[in-house]
Amino acid sequence: MRALAGAASSDQLTQFSTAFQELRRDLITFDSGGGNGSSSSPAMQISPLVNSLALSKTVAVTDKASALRLEGKEIISLSVGEPDGLPAPAAMAAAHAALDAGQVKYTECAGLRALRDAISEYLRGKGLDYKPNQIVCSNGGKQSLLQAMLALCGPGDEVIIPAPYWVSYTQIATLCQAKPVVISTRASDGYCLMPEDLQAAITPATRVLIMCNPSNPTGAVHPKALLEKLAAVLREHPRVAVIADEIYEQITFDEPAVPFATLPGMIERTAIINGFSKGPAMTGFRLGYLAAPATLASACNKIQSQNTSGASSISQHAAIAALREVGPGWLAGCIKGYRKKRDYVLQRLRAMPGVEHDYTPQGAFYAFPTVSGCFGKRTPKGEVLCDAEGVCLYLLEEGVALVPGEAFGDDNCLRIAYADSMETLGKAMDWMEKALRALK
């Protein structure tokens, strides 16, 4: 990660980047040596598998923005996928009530039975029949995803990941000793996975398809007719399991999100990943869940029992309230606000030089503009922008923190999280447009 903007030259930025990366790696690995990833103590040697993993780009951008703030520079961060509002009052009240009642002890590893009952009821409303023993609550959707991948994959297995993808998919596959197989989707298709592309990617080694619907980072929502065509392809390949990341399923606009497991023949081979971070806006509560066939759910619970055990008791009580006490009006109000913000950000982006965003996201709260029209241009300091990371670095120097598309498998784009106040979005778009118009 490179830090320091202001009057620093490109070479200085590069030097600082290298130094910061080495310092961060040394701190993480307790390395007191030369910054090469090895340890002065043979006992602290880090495994090649872990050393092969990359640090999340969203974490890197957040770190760099923090470094610039420490220098006194005002930074607007649209880099993190986090709703700006608080959870519904009923969920907050339930958390307080659980504390007051002393409900602070360990829970069952898979989660409170009352919470799994509530999740089961919620999923039935979506046309899905999952019993409480098919549901495992975890410390966030990412943990559920990792556990599902660990349970399903082994060395030599392939995991199909449509790009653009959420930053952790490829790294989690690698951690599970599986091979990520990335296949590109196109803006002209609304960044939806096409059946012919899926068919071409499947091999005898294919074990898992990851479906993120609605998508992070593009906001794409696959229509039901398209999902049915994808399911038809999968029916020809009975060994391929589906991990359906549906964490954004509550946040859609004109195209509803259809649970993949509702398609004929898919519930027996699908693991649903969901949680309370996005729709219910409970990011800091760190609570996700998996719903899957009983064999897989049991395996994930076994993995969790040897890892973190159960999730926070307070978070679980808050989640029960989020499911049972929060009326549809609260979420509808959130979605109305997201739609307004989406439309505003798209309108501003489409007026900026070097930026393209022809499709309209139908879910989540991200814009994913193409910025390749800025490549080859010079900043006012004379630096040439060569890729999306260079554009992001330049914009960060101008006060706006975004995430380069390279982290999501498309180095022509960048991701903007528009789940912030209209005032903040207006200021960020003003700064971004001013910076792009200054390019030569």
What are the structural domain ranges in the chain?
A: 1-46, 53-82+330-437, 89-324
User: E strands, 198-309, where?
Assistant: 206-212, 241-245, 270-275, 288-291
Q: What was the pLDDT predicted at 66?
A: 81
Distance CA 347, CA 130 (A): 42
What residues pair up with 64 in beta bridges, in sequence order?
none
Give the Å distances, CA to CA, from 336 to 27, 254, 328. 44, 11, 12
What residues pair up with 400 in beta bridges, in sequence order?
76
Give the Å distances, CA to CA, from 205 to 9, 148, 155, 179, 366. 48, 18, 10, 9, 33
**CATH among 2.50.20.10, 3.40.640.10, 1.10.1040.10, 3.30.420.310 for 89-324:** 3.40.640.10
145 residue type, one letter: L
Quick: pLDDT tens for 205-256.
999 999 999 999 999 999 999 999 999 999 999 999 999 999 999 999 999 9
**Residue range 146-170: mean pLDDT, rounded:** 97
End-to-end CA distance of the chain: 26
Q: What was the pLDDT predicted at 299?
A: 97
Distance CA 275, CA 142 (A): 9
Are 146 and 175 spatial neighbours (Cβ–Cβ below 8 Å)?
A: yes
Q: How confident is the model at residue 58 (pLDDT cuts 50, 70, 90)?
A: low
**Residue range 312-338: mean pLDDT, rounded:** 97
Tell whether the model's pLDDT for residue 292 goes beyond 60.
yes
Supply the CATH classification number for the domain 53-82+330-437: 3.90.1150.10
Quick: pLDDT tens for 163-217.
999 999 999 999 999 999 999 999 999 999 999 999 999 999 999 999 999 999 9
Are 309 and 106 spatial neighbours (Cβ–Cβ below 8 Å)?
A: yes
Q: What was the pLDDT predicted at 61?
A: 72
Tell whether the model's pLDDT for residue 146 goes beyond 70.
yes
**Residue range 423-435: mean pLDDT, rounded:** 98
**Residue range 118-124: mean pLDDT, rounded:** 98
Q: What was the pLDDT predicted at 21?
A: 47
Sign of CA dihedral 294, 300, 306, 309: negative
Distance CA 14, CA 237 (A): 47
**Residue range 151-167: mean pLDDT, rounded:** 97
Please give the share of the chain, as a percent, with pLDDT higher than 70.
Answer: 90
Tell whether the model's pLDDT for residue 388 goes beyond 50.
yes
Q: What was the pLDDT predicted at 9?
A: 41
Q: What was the pLDDT predicted at 49?
A: 83
The whole model's pTM is what? 0.88
Q: What was the pLDDT predicted at 48?
A: 87
Quick: pLDDT tens for 2-55.
333 343 444 443 443 444 344 344 434 433 344 444 445 788 888 888 888 877
189 residue type, one letter: D
Q: What was the pLDDT predicted at 6?
A: 40
**Residue range 85-98: mean pLDDT, rounded:** 98
Residues 6+ apart with CB under 8 A from 119: 130, 132, 135, 137, 289, 291, 323
**Burial of residue 268 (number of CB atoms within 10 Å: 0-12, 13-18, 19+):** exposed
